[in-house]
A and B are shown apart, each in its own frame.
Chain A
Amino acid sequence: MSITILKPGISASIQDLGRWHYQKFGIPVGGVMDKFSASVANIICGNEVNDAIIELTLHGTEIVFNEDAYCCISGHGCTAYINDTKIQFDRLIKIKAFSILKTKPTRYGCRAYLAIAGGFHLNKIMGSVSTYVPSSIGGINGRNLITGDIIHFTHKINKTQKDNTIQISESDFAYANWHINITHQHSESNQTTINCVIGPEWSLFNESSQHSLFNTSFTVSNDSNRMGYRLGGNELSLIQKLEMISSAVAMGIIQVTPKGQPIILMADAQTIGGYPRIARVCAADLPKLAQCRPGDIISFNHITENESFHKLSGIQKKIDQLKISVEMTNQ
């Protein structure tokens, strides 16, 4: 069973939760930008959170289902239609064979995730299917999806007698009879507040730069992508010039270039970096950040390391709770 990509749209790629254990060889973790939305889509389909998923950046994607399929779309950045009927996000949907899923523009958000019950079948490279385009690793031939790509899946509904009885009568799709309310962090807005912890080189930045970071806003620039978000705004400067020895990085680090521009490292960032790190984004806010599109305005809010860790635990609990809720609906 399979789907065929009719149009990839602005960008679409195969991802999972990342390629771990190979950073010491210079291979970035990669994986989905918004782990929360991707996990939601997979969980609603009865999949594992790490199962292969399609990350849709903004709009313009068209996908035909070659067989009946159960799927879920979650995230932001587009509206979705099945044969011209708008569909809801965060719902388990049975889609009739030969139906076409289309995404159309919306004003907010950046990335949506399409999961299919049973999961997409792709070869893992170094333990992951995540597409890392700069080194042609993962996904389909290491590249983003293109017109004509066929992606196979196994039809499998976990313990879901009920779901198998979703009735498609005249229409091209139908929802499962259950619905779980998901509170996404992303606000329907082009302005976002992101919680941050001060970074290892914080004290080496001058006072006005420290002040600017938490009291002025920044714009996500047009050359932002899966590797990093470049920000426009006040220049951030060190007290004195600094030659740093490169060290390992992680998603969410806010490093500052010699020209004073902050760059937030995202999923596909290189494994090693050598720019001073003024702060880092709270991991619980990375999904929210991943939903920012070029032109969006970001303000940073200062929190402690401990607060940051607890926020992340909170997200983890939410995901665990969702898993339990989905399992319960299927009993």
Chain B
Amino acid sequence: MIIPRIYSIHDQAITIEFSQTIDEQINMQVIAWQYEIESNPFPGFIECVPAYSSLTIYVNSDCNIDDLKNHLQKKINITENKNHFNVFSNNQDAKTIEIPVCYDSEFGFDLPWLSNTLKLSIEEIIQLHSEHIYRVYMIGFIPGFPYMGVLPAQLETSRKQNPSLKIPTGSIGVAGKQTGIYPAEIPGGWHIIGKTPLTIFDKSSESICLLKAGDRVKFIPITKKEFDQFQ
């Protein structure tokens, strides 16, 4: 049984830390708690931010964080004792989203290096990467960047020693046990294996982000021609 740690990170923010691991079951707990709190907001509640294995709750001056800590502790105790907190029923909002990816070496410019390092052919890398379904653990680092996992063990690598100065928008990267999509052109240390024609972050759209924590992602390989034709 996990005993979460509850602590403040600001006079108006509390973190519930479920563990210090990247684990699907733990992240499901995080998202379940996020939904639970968002659907039953208390006075002073502003927002919740899920991460791999923790949930942070931001409040305003209408809420005393000591009271909030006690309230959360009680809620956690009830959940632990009665075991009534159904993780799965609280994750119903999560979607499975298919994301087309062109793994052409023009976009996946680190494929040759990865192939060499991982002792896998480029085709094997593409197959391994696209046959798995990944969980979106959290969005962060820059606006709209989804941290997804868990990558098949054969594809695990460390980050680049020297980050690339410009990674194009839509690039698909891998690092450690994770895979991600670059929502904007920025420097980055992940190895780039392809590119999606989809817009995953749009600050002026209603939904802002195509993905949210708790969603599942399946990458669908497409050809260069299909990529170019994608509207």
Contacts and interface: CB of A to CB of B under 8 A. Distances in A.
B49 interface: yes
B11 A248 contact: no
A244 B20 CA distance: 7
Interface string B164-177: 00000000000000
Contacts of A272: 51, 138, 140-141
A115 B18 CA distance: 44
Interface string B153-164: 000000000000
A27 interface: yes
B66 A309 contact: yes
Contacts of A245: 20-22, 51-54
Secondary structure of the A side of the interface? mixed
Interface stretch (B89-97, B112-120, B207-215): B207-215
Interface in B32-72: 34, 46-56, 58, 61, 64-66
Contacts of B3: none
Given A25-B209, A26-B141, A135 B184 contact: yes
Interface string B1-40: 0000101111111010100111000000000001000000
Contact of B47 (A23, A135, A251): A23
Nearest to B26: A245
Q: What size tier do the contact residues of chain B reach?
A: 35 or more
A21 B47 CA distance: 5
A283 B9 CA distance: 10
B76 to A, nearest CB: 17
A312 B12 CA distance: 9
What bracket does the count of chain A residues touching chain B fall in? 35 or more
A283 B144 contact: no
Interface string A254-291: 00000000000000001110000100101110000000
A253 interface: yes
A165 interface: no
B192 interface: no
A248 B144 contact: no
A246 B140 CA distance: 10
A169 interface: no
B129 to A, nearest CB: 22
B152 interface: no
A197 B204 CA distance: 38
Given A20-B47, A312-B61, A200 B140 contact: no
Contacts of B56: 247-248, 250
Nearest to A28: B143
Nearest to A253: B9
A253 B10 contact: yes
A216 interface: no
Nearest to B12: A283
B72 to A, nearest CB: 15
B20 A20 contact: no
Nearest to A22: B208
B49 A284 contact: no
Contacts of B134: none
Interface string B205-224: 00011001100000000000
Given A135-B203, A246-B51, A250-B58, A312 B143 contact: no
A20 B46 contact: yes
Contacts of B52: 245-247
A30 to B, nearest CB: 11
Contact of B204 (A125, A135, A306): A125
A126 interface: yes
Given A247-B56, A249-B9, A308-B11, A270 B140 contact: yes
B11 A283 contact: yes
A247 B20 CA distance: 10
B21 to A, nearest CB: 7
- Of the listed residues A23, A308, A309, the one surrounded by the most CB atoms of chain B closer than 10 A to its CB is A23
B141 A252 contact: no
Given A126-B203, A247-B52, A20 B8 contact: no
Contacts of A26: 139-145, 209
A313 B64 CA distance: 10
Nearest to A319: B61
Nearest to B52: A245
B58 A200 contact: no
* Central interface residue in A22, A248, A308, A309, by most chain B CB within 10 Å: A248
A298 B2 CA distance: 39
Given A25-B139, A135-B203, A245-B54, 11 more contacts: A24-B34, A25-B144, A26-B139, A28-B143, A125-B203, A246-B51, A246-B52, A248-B13, A250-B10, A308-B11, A316-B61
13 contacts: A20-B47, A20-B58, A125-B203, A135-B142, A135-B203, A247-B15, A248-B51, A250-B13, A251-B10, A271-B49, A272-B138, A284-B11, A312-B61
Interface of B: 5, 7-13, 15, 17, 20-22, 34, 46-56, 58, 61, 64-66, 138-145, 184, 201, 203-204, 208-209, 212-213
